[in-house]
């Protein structure tokens, strides 16, 4: 099935760029272009070796490992509460979301449940880190297509969200706030109203960016019909999150398989999909996702129950033997932790299923036949964080 | 008169001997650079360097044209040769063999043939030049004043026919008679701004070229245009061949 | 609540509840894979594990894909060897820098026990696939004997397995037969050893041993009446 | 005027030296102003920042600091680079800018050269910068540079055409190639018999103005046509390997060329140094003309930089498609319509 789709894709590209194909027939020397690891486009240390014919990519091979920190190994020698500090650093743009699935997996093994208030706050913070992350991704896409202004808007409005996260967790980048059985602290006074204001700012940002960037003809020309991922190919590569919803797959872990301990079912929201599967549809779904995120946060803020934020857990946490896999819908896609415990202080084995690793693994297939400028926009629309690939 | 205007009026008088000297010096320098570059163009083993030396030669030609006062031809030289042809050269070279450093294959063994062709060309062109300009003489000194009198001038604010403006000069003359008026009269007759009115004072080669192309040589000009169009279509057909 | 009671409750719950959907799926898989399926485990309302024979690994993937499990989640490996450097890293007993002798002692002292769906060998590959239309998911495992760490590649089934297999190869030394590009993914090309194996010492931890839990953060809501174990 | 000044101005070398100095001022002063006003301040305003504030009042001396920084930096040559070509390339690029400014009039008597073929000359020398860019791209011995240089060359050659064709409308209407005469034609022109504001060609040649602006944007390699330096793809394109003073020269070249092209645009379409209500022959314009020009340059460059800060980047083939399928046919049509109307009226 791959072969057929690949030919289809090539044919599509050849039709679509027929005007620029004139020079393809002229024999030119092949060229190998090395994008990265120090390259402004690959935000981080991803390196892409692209074999070019003129400006057309014949083969592209991502090379990574420049930031591999071996968290799976390190987690084996940390106690469970300590692991949250590590996993914070996986997707450093939306850190809190990294903690949630691991904590939920540990709670699942321990058969305990956080109090309702903690569950609400957890969900709110999870969504806020999604907003903080995805806003940056949208602004970054502007840089990838050559517009410098959107990223400054993104940083400006991301600040409102980060301020709120900082106000409750004490950390802007690495909150380290989730605990097995609840949360570290309760909300500070006035936080709810401030957060609602921040969400209002984020919605303004969405409107602004929709006009400035998404409505721009050049942006559409650069992203529409570029980097098309058919749904079945995307699924077999394990793409998740926005990248698969941009291909028309209506699947969201938050709605379809919310893990025990998050209260997405208490809010009224919508899973957005886009049938095209191209760069534009991914970015479009991403923007809608931010809007839905602000809605979820607003609704959950309205009905946070009162009560404790911490369940009764032993001081020294020993997790009973067993295996558990918990995945949540993280900003970059589905993130899951497969935790194997042998009843010790520290996990026996933690398999981190990070979203970007799978999302980027499609690039050798996706980048075949595109032009050099499209490499950049396609990577930008896949939106990955290097820490989430390398772990 | 302001300082700027003073300077500007001085700029117009390109007749002083100082300017002649400057022109000669400039010619000498340009010619020397051109000769050196032309020599290096054929001797360098680096293809890109050869193309860049050719740029200097062609730029020198353009400079000489401008030095001779025919800025239109000079500008055309820059536009066509430097702006288009050489850039295409470089484009092709860099796309196909963008190799830094010397290229051995450029060292051709057919130098004898090249020298022969060069000498042959020199003889033919030298003969043509001598044949054409054998009896021509260069005249030095003031060129003959060319007087151009508009049919209408402004006296006060009223447009007045020339004949009425200077009755003493034109009195009793018929329509076809030639008159000679002094520079002072001319200046007083035609104020400075009047002389810059579009079309009123174009003696330059610009107008002559345009006139000759679109009257005398209109048929060859159009023929060349059709030829270029045919070449363009041919190129597209060749490139589009599936 | 103490750990023992928690485990006991889990067992009881599993015995009581019956997850019909997953049981049906399991029986379907059993009939499809026949002898290939070695062992299985259903945690009611939660998850399904199956352990397949190594030779049936690719077949199992193919079968699952045909059963609408089109979504490839991850593929990795497990090393069930108890850590030769001390099971709990907070235990101060094992501080030696010569693992070879101790490794044997510890291995003998701690019998190797495998997890859900059982296992007989030290290394297992495991993978997870989802059926996103119904929300079902299956975790597959396959035993690999120590002397023959070969297993078929999943790339023809799930092309996304490519990088996961490269990662598992360099981290555990498992050879995926038929992998088109078996190079290191993360590690330098000339890296010696397989870091995720349990007998691969985490050097920084060896040089500077873990001091144990020195400060335990007071839990909010955790008053004096809490029964610490 | 004292004696030696007279002697100085009567000699050949005096005015020549003065012209050279004037050219430097006319190129560098607007370039510096544009960098400060637009790149530092307007860009910051657009992007919700305040921009440089420390050096001088409102950061106005930041530019000097930047120049000083560039002079302190090491002039790095890549090891495999073609040293001579690499070293000369920025000068070739800057040379084309200085040649451009020669034909721009700043007042009835304030000009450097008053060529009959002024605008033709300007369009011709503007293409010289391509050579410099190709030299830089090739000599850097870097793939990013080479790709950037090739992209720049392809783009500049392609957009030369709509640029020239857009100018043709003005030339037909004014009946001259002389820049000074184009200004006078606008000053003395009439719109349906009413000459209150003359006839700035932006009114009658609006299509030409729009095409000229777009083509100019491409010639300047400013976004949305900045593929040659596309920082997210090619790092800095042909400038990647440059540092220190040579990078500064490219940087100056970029903004100086923007300023000079804006001057040409304002001469062609906005009436150059002339403002309505004052007799174009008045000596006053020799003083206020440059200031008027600068104001108009600020207006044109505002458009250039506004697009720069707002728009994403085209892809190379989309750029060529825009040029050949859209701009050139429209500009040809514009010429035909202008010619017909010229004959009719």
User: Which of B77-81, B171-175, C38-42 reaches the highest mean pLDDT?
Assistant: B77-81
Which of the residues D20, D123, D134 would you substitute to probe the B interface, choosing the one with the greatest number of B C-beta atoms within 10 Å? D134
Q: Is the pLDDT of residue C49 over 60?
A: yes
Residue B148 is assigned to a structural domain of this protein: no
Under DSSP, the state recorded for C129 is E
Tell me if residue B159 falls in helix, strand or coil.
strand
Question: Which residue, B85, B102, B119, sits at the end of a domain?
Answer: B102
Q: How far apart are CA B34 and CA B39, in angstroms?
A: 8
Report chain D's C-alpha Rg in angstroms: 21
> What does each C-alpha distance from D236 to A378, D43, D143 come to in angstroms?
20, 19, 11
Three-state SS across B23-61? Answer: HHHHHHHHHHHHHHHHHHHHHCCCHHHHHHHHHHHHHHH
Domain range enclosing C11: 3-207
Mean pLDDT of chain B: 70
Task: Give A301 or C15, the one with higher predicted confidence.
Answer: A301
Which of the residues D6, D116, D118, D238 would you substitute to probe the B interface, choosing the one with the greatest number of B C-beta atoms within 10 Å? D116
User: Which of A11-25, C22-36, C187-201, D76-90 reaches the highest mean pLDDT?
Assistant: D76-90
Q: Which two tokens stand for residue B124?
A: 């033919």
A315 contact residues in C (CB cutoff 8 A): 216, 219, 222, 226, 228
CB contact under 8 A, D181 and B94: no
Q: Where is average pLDDT lowest: B4-8, B182-186, C173-177, D239-243?
A: B4-8
Domain count, chain C: 1
Q: Is the pLDDT of residue B121 over 90?
A: yes
Q: How far apart are CA A90 and CA B63, in angstroms?
A: 64
State the pairing for strand pair C150-152/C123-131. Answer: unpaired
Q: Which chains touch A (3 or more CB pairs under 8 A)?
A: B, C, D
Domain range enclosing B221: 205-240
Q: Where are the alpha helices (DSSP H) in chain B?
A: 3-12, 17-43, 47-67, 71-77, 87-97, 111-133, 162-165, 167-170, 183-189, 192-195, 205-211, 218-240
Within its chain, how far is the Cα of D57 from the centroid? 28
pLDDT in tens, A74-128: 888 778 888 888 888 888 888 888 888 888 888 888 888 888 888 888 898 889 8
Q: How far apart are CA D209 and CA D166, in angstroms?
A: 7
CB contact under 8 A, D143 and A34: yes
What's the pLDDT band for A19 if we cut at 50, 70, 90?
very low
Residue A88 is assigned to a structural domain of this protein: yes
Tell me the torsion sign for CA atoms A375, A377, A383, A385: positive
Of D10, D18, D138, the CB nearest to B94: D138
CB contact under 8 A, B240 and A28: no
Which of the residues B73, B79, B88, B191 would you substitute to probe the D interface, choosing the one with the greatest number of D C-beta atoms within 10 Å? B79
Residues in chain D: 345
CB contact under 8 A, B239 and A29: no
Residue A319 is assigned to a structural domain of this protein: yes
CB contact under 8 A, D160 and B83: yes
- For C39-46, what is the mean pLDDT? 74
Q: Which chains touch B (3 or more CB pairs under 8 A)?
A: A, D
Residue A240 is assigned to a structural domain of this protein: yes
Tell me the torsion sign for CA atoms A118, A123, A126, A127: negative
Strands (DSSP E) along C36-167, which ranges?
A: 37-43, 47-52, 71-79, 123-131, 136-144, 150-152
pLDDT of residue B122: 92
CB contact under 8 A, D15 and B19: no
pLDDT of residue A42: 58
Per the CB < 8 A criterion, the answer to whether A296 and A265 are in contact is no
Chunked into runs of 10 residues, chain D (345 residues) has average pLDDT values of: 64 76 84 85 84 82 87 84 86 88 82 80 85 85 80 83 88 83 80 72 84 88 80 77 86 88 89 78 78 88 86 82 87 88 80
> Which CATH number covers residue B23?
1.20.120.1200
Of A239, A251, A310, the CB nearest to C221: A310
- For B41-59, what is the mean pLDDT? 84
Which of the residues A11, A25, A27 would you substitute to probe the B interface, choosing the one with the greatest number of B C-beta atoms within 10 Å? A25
What's the pLDDT band for A18 if we cut at 50, 70, 90?
very low
Q: How far apart are CA C196 and CA A204, in angstroms?
A: 47
| D235 and chain A in contact, CB less than 8 A | yes
Residue D16 is assigned to a structural domain of this protein: no
Per the CB < 8 A criterion, the answer to whether C157 and C69 are in contact is no
Of B95, B97, B239, the CB nearest to A22: B239
Q: Where are the alpha helices (DSSP H) in D220-327?
A: 244-269, 284-310, 316-321
Q: How far apart are CA B79 and CA D328, in angstroms?
A: 19
Q: Which two tokens stand for residue D330?
A: 């429209």
Q: Is the pLDDT of residue B90 over 80?
A: no
Residue B88 is assigned to a structural domain of this protein: yes
Give the DSSP per-residue string, D193-213. TB-TT---HHHHTHHHHHHHH
Nearest partner of A360 among A94, A65, A147, judged by Cα:
A65
Q: In chain B, whose CA is at the least distance from the CA of A28?
A: B96
Per the CB < 8 A criterion, the answer to whether A274 and A281 are in contact is yes
What's the pLDDT band for B3 if we cut at 50, 70, 90?
very low
pLDDT of residue B195: 45
What's the pLDDT band for B119 if we cut at 50, 70, 90?
very high
CB contact under 8 A, A218 and D314: yes
Q: Is the pLDDT of residue B226 over 90?
A: yes
Q: How far apart are CA A51 and CA A57, in angstroms?
A: 6
Q: What's the start-to-end Cα distance of chain B, in Å? A: 70
Nearest partner of C50 among C131, C125, C111, C123, judged by Cα:
C125
pLDDT of residue A22: 34
Our CA angle for D137, D138, D143, nearest 5°, is 75
Residue A376 is assigned to a structural domain of this protein: no
> Which CATH number covers residue A317?
1.10.645.10
Nearest partner of D98 among D136, D128, D70, judged by Cα:
D128
> Which CATH number covers residue C57?
3.30.460.80
Our CA angle for D2, D4, D5, nearest 5°, is 70
Q: In chain D, whose CA is at the least distance from the CA of B196?
A: D181
Q: What are phi and psi of B108, to 5 degrees?
A: -85, 150
Three-state SS across chain A? Answer: CHHHHHHHHHHHHHHHCHHHHHHHCCCCCCEEEEECCCCHHHCCCCEEEEEEECCEEEEEEEECCCCCCCHHHHHCCCCHHHHHHHHCCCCCCCHHHHHHHHHHHHHHHHCCCCCHHHHHHHHHHHHHHHHHHHHHHHHHHHHHCCCCHHHHHHHHHHHHHHHHHHHHHCCCCCCCCEECCEECCCCCCCHHHHHHHHHHHHHHHHHHHHHHHHCCHHHHHHHCCCCCCCHHHHHHCCCCCHHHHCCCCCCCHHHHCCCCCCCHHHCCCCCCCCCCCCHHHHHHHHHHHHHHHHHHHHHHHHCCCCCCCECCCCCCCCCCCEEEEEEEEECCEEEEEEEEECCCCCCCEEEEECHHHHHHCCHHHHCCCCEHHHHHHHHHHHCCCHHHHHC
pLDDT of residue A183: 85
Buried b (16+ CB within 10 A) or exposed e, D248-282: bbbbbbbbbbbbbbbbbbbbbbbbbbbbeeeebbe
Q: How far apart are CA D71 and CA A133, in angstroms?
A: 40
| B100 and chain D in contact, CB less than 8 A | yes
Residue C228 is assigned to a structural domain of this protein: no
Residue C215 is assigned to a structural domain of this protein: no
Nearest partner of D15 among D110, D119, D116, judged by Cα:
D110
Domain range enclosing A194: 71-361
Per the CB < 8 A criterion, the answer to whether A205 and A153 are in contact is yes
Residue A34 is assigned to a structural domain of this protein: no
| B82 and chain D in contact, CB less than 8 A | yes
Per the CB < 8 A criterion, the answer to whether A368 and A6 are in contact is yes
Q: Where are the alpha helices (DSSP H) in chain C?
A: 3-16, 20-33, 57-66, 99-109, 161-172, 203-207
How close D58 gets to chain B, by Cα (Å)? 34
Domain count, chain A: 1
Of A20, A218, A372, the CB nearest to D312: A218
A253 contact residues in C (CB cutoff 8 A): none
| D309 and chain A in contact, CB less than 8 A | yes
Q: How far apart are CA D94 and CA D251, in angstroms?
A: 10
Residue C213 is assigned to a structural domain of this protein: no
State the pairing for strand pair A178-179/C47-52. Answer: unpaired
B240 contact residues in A (CB cutoff 8 A): 22
Residue B76 is assigned to a structural domain of this protein: yes
Q: Which two tokens stand for residue B86?
A: 């050489």
Our CA angle for D243, D244, D246, nearest 5°, is 75
Q: Is the pLDDT of residue B197 over 50?
A: no
Q: How far apart are CA C69 and CA C131, in angstroms?
A: 4
C78 contact residues in A (CB cutoff 8 A): 340, 349
Of D227, D235, D312, the CB nearest to A219: D312
Domain range enclosing D147: 82-344
Tell me if residue C107 falls in helix, strand or coil.
helix
Stretch 26-65 of chain A: residues touching chain B, C-beta under 8 Å? 28-29
pLDDT in tens, A270-325: 888 888 888 888 888 988 889 888 988 888 888 888 888 887 877 777 788 888 88
pLDDT of residue B167: 59
Q: How far apart are CA A81 and CA A184, in angstroms?
A: 11
Question: Which residue, B102, B120, B154, sits at the end of a domain?
Answer: B102
pLDDT in tens, A328-341: 888 888 888 888 88
Domain count, chain D: 1
A110 contact residues in C (CB cutoff 8 A): 6
Domain count, chain B: 2
pLDDT in tens, A195-239: 888 898 888 888 888 888 888 888 888 888 888 888 888 888 888
């Amino acid at each position: 099935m791959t072969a057929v789709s690949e030919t289809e894709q090539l044919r599509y590209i050849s039709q679509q760029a027929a005007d620029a194909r004139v020079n393809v027939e002229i024999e030119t020397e092949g060229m190998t272009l090395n994008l990265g690891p120090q390259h402004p486009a690959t935000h981080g240390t991803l390196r892409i070796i692209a074999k070019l014919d003129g400006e057309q990519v014949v083969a592209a091979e991502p090379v990574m490992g420049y930031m591999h920190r071996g968290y799976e190994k390190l987690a084996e020698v940390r106690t469970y509460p300590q692991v949250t500090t590590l996993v914070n650093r996986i997707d450093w743009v939306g850190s809190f979301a990294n903690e949630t699935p691991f904590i939920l997996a540990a709670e699942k093994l321990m058969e305990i449940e956080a109090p309702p208030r903690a569950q609400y706050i957890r969900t709110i913070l999870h969504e806020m880190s999604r907003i903080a992350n995805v806003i940056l991704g949208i602004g970054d896409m502007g840089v990838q297509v050559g517009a410098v202004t959107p990223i400054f808007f993104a940083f400006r409005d991301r600040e409102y969200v980060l301020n709120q996260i900082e106000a409750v967790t004490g950390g802007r980048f690495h909150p380290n706030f989730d605990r097995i059985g609840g949360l570290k602290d309760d909300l500070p006074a006035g936080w709810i109203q401030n957060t609602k204001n921040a969400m209002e700012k984020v919605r303004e940002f969405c409107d602004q960016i929709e006009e400035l960037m998404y409505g721009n003809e050049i942006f559409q020309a650069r992203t529409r019909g570029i980097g098309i991922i058919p749904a079945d190919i995307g699924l077999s590569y394990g793409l998740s999150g926005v990248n698969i919803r941009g291909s028309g797959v209506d699947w969201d872990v938050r709605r379809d398989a919310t893990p025990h301990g998050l209260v997405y079912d208490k809010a009224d929201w919508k899973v957005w999909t886009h049938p095209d599967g191209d760069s534009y549809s991914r970015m479009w779904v991403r923007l809608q996702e931010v809007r839905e995120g602000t809605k979820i946060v607003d609704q959950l803020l309205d009905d946070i129950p009162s009560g404790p934020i911490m369940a009764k857990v032993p001081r020294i946490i020993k997790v009973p033997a067993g295996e558990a896999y918990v995945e949540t819908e993280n900003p970059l896609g589905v993130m899951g932790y497969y935790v194997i415990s042998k009843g010790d202080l520290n996990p026996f084995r933690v398999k981190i299923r990070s979203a970007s690793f799978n999302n980027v693994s499609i690039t050798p297939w996706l980048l075949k036949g595109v032009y050099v400028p499209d490499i950049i926009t396609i990577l930008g629309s896949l939106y990955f964080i290097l820490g989430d690939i390398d772990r | 008169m302001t300082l700027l205007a003073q300077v500007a009026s001085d700029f117009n008088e390109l007749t002083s001997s100082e300017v002649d000297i400057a022109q000669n010096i400039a010619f000498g320098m340009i010619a020397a650079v051109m000769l050196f570059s032309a020599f290096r163009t054929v001797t360098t083993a680096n293809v890109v360097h050869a193309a860049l030396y050719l740029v200097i030669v062609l730029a020198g030609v353009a400079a000489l044209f401008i030095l001779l006062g025919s800025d239109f031809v000079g500008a055309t030289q820059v536009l066509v040769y430097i702006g288009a042809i050489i850039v295409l050269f470089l484009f092709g070279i860099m796309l196909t063999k963008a190799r830094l450093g010397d290229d051995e294959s450029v060292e051709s063994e057919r130098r004898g043939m090249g020298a022969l062709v060069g000498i042959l060309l020199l003889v033919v062109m030298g003969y043509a030049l001598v044949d054409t300009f054998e009896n021509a003489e260069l005249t030095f000194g003031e060129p003959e004043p060319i007087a151009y009198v508009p049919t209408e001038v402004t006296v006060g604010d009223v447009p007045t026919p020339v004949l009425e403006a200077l009755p003493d000069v034109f009195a009793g003359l018929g329509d076809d008679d030639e008159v000679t008026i002094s520079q002072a009269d001319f200046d007083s007759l035609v104020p400075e701004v009047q002389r810059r009115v579009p079309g009123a004072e174009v003696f330059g080669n610009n107008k002559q070229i345009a006139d000759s192309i679109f009257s005398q040589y209109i048929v060859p000009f159009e023929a060349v245009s059709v030829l270029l169009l045919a070449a363009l279509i041919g190129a597209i057909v060749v490139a589009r061949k599936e | 609540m103490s750990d023992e009671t928690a485990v006991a409750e889990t067992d009881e719950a599993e015995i009581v509840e019956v997850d019909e959907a997953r049981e049906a799926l399991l029986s379907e898989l059993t009939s499809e894979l026949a002898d290939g399926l070695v062992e299985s485990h259903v945690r009611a309302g939660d998850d399904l594990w199956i352990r397949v024979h190594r030779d049936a690994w690719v077949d199992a993937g193919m079968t699952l894909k045909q059963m609408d499990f089109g979504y490839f989640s991850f593929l990795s490996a497990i090393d069930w060897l108890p850590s030769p450097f001390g099971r709990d890293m907070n235990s101060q007993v094992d501080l030696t820098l010569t693992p070879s002798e101790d490794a044997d002692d510890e291995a003998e002292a701690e019998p190797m026990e495998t997890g859900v769906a059982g296992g007989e060998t030290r290394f297992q590959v495991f993978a997870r696939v989802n059926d996103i239309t119904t929300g079902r998911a299956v975790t597959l495992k396959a035993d690999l004997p120590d002397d023959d760490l070969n297993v078929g590649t999943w790339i023809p089934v799930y092309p996304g397995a490519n990088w996961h297999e490269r990662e598992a190869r360099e981290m555990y030394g498992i050879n995926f037969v038929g992998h088109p590009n078996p190079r290191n993914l993360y590690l330098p090309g000339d890296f010696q050893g397989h870091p995720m194996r349990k007998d691969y010492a985490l050097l920084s931890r060896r040089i500077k041993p873990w001091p144990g839990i020195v400060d335990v953060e007071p839990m909010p809501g955790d008053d004096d009446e809490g029964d610490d174990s | 005027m004292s004696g030696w000044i007279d002697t100085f101005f009567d000699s050949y070398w005096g005015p020549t030296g003065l012209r050279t100095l004037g050219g430097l001022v006319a190129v560098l002063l607007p370039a510096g102003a544009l960098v400060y006003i637009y790149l530092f301040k307007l860009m910051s305003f657009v992007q919700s920042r305040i921009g440089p504030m420390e050096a001088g009042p409102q950061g106005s001396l930041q530019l000097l600091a930047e120049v000083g920084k560039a002079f302190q930096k090491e002039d790095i040559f890549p090891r495999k680079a073609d040293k001579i070509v690499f070293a000369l390339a920025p000068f070739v690029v800057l040379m084309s800018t200085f040649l451009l400014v020669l034909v721009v009039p700043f007042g009835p008597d304030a000009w450097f050269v008053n060529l009959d073929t002024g605008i033709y000359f300007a369009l011709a020398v503007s293409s010289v910068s391509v050579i410099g860019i190709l030299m830089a791209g090739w000599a850097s011995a870097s793939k990013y540079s080479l790709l950037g240089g090739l992209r720049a060359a392809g783009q500049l050659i392609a957009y030369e055409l709509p640029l020239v064709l857009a100018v043709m409308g003005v030339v037909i209407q004014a009946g001259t190639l002389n820049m000074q005469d184009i200004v006078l034609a606008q000053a003395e022109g009439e719109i349906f018999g009413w000459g209150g504001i003359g006839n700035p060609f932006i009114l009658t040649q609006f299509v030409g103005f729009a095409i000229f602006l777009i083509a100019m944007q491409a010639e300047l390699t400013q976004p949305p046509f900045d593929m040659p330096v596309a920082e997210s793809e090619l790092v800095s394109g042909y400038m990647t390997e440059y540092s220190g003073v040579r990078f500064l020269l490219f940087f100056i070249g970029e903004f100086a060329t923007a300023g000079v092209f804006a001057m040409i645009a304002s001469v062609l379409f906005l009436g150059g140094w002339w403002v309505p209500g004052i007799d174009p022959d008045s000596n006053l314009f020799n003083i206020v003309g440059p200031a008027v020009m600068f104001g108009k340059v600020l207006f044109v460059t505002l458009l250039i930089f506004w697009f720069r800060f707002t728009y994403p980047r085209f892809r190379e083939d989309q750029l060529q498609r825009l040029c050949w399928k859209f701009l050139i046919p429209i500009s040809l049509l514009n010429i035909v319509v202008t010619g017909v109307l010229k004959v009719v009226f």
